[in-house]
Amino acid sequence: QVQLVESGGGLVQAGGSLRLSCAASGRAVSKYAMGWFRQAPGKERQFVAVINWSGDSTNYADSVKGRFTISRDNAKNTLYLQMNGLKPDDTAVYYCTADLSMATMSPRYWGQGTQVTVSS
């Protein structure tokens, strides 16, 4: 069992930056691939980024490439998402995820989500 708790969301102006964090706990959590998904009101859930267990392989949605950076600190069991150049379209609830597979679009474990709002 893995527990995930996100933090760092908030309100920011377009062009600004935020860093999301996800504290993970549970057995062998450092061996899981971890990622971020988001869901805006009235829209489907969307993949944002994923990182493998060791941190040396990442993948991003085209919509965030070059603006967002995913990273992890296994010593702290923490996942991060640095978001720069934020746009109003980035407004959504952001969810931290964990799964043994880096490729899945339906991760096994989810956090409760943190709201990110970008004003124009």
Q: What DSSP assignment string belongs to 22-60?
A: EEEEETTGGGSEEEEEEE-TTS--EEEEEE-TTSS-EEE
Closest CA to 82 of 1, 17, 34, 22: 17
Task: Give the pLDDT of residue 9.
Answer: 97
The two structure tokens encoding residue 28: 């062998």
Task: Give the pLDDT of residue 58.
Answer: 98
Give, in order, the Cα–Cα distances in Å from 67 to each of 49, 63, 77, 81, 117.
11, 9, 24, 10, 16
- Which residues does the chain have with pLDDT short of 50? none
- Mapped onto helix, strand or coil, the DSSP state of residue 78 is strand
Distance separating the N- and C-terminal Cα atoms of the chain: 40
Partners of 86 in beta bridges: none
DSSP 86: -
Give, in order, the Cα–Cα distances in Å from 55 to each of 12, 18, 38, 60, 70.
28, 21, 21, 14, 9
Task: Give the pLDDT of residue 27.
Answer: 87
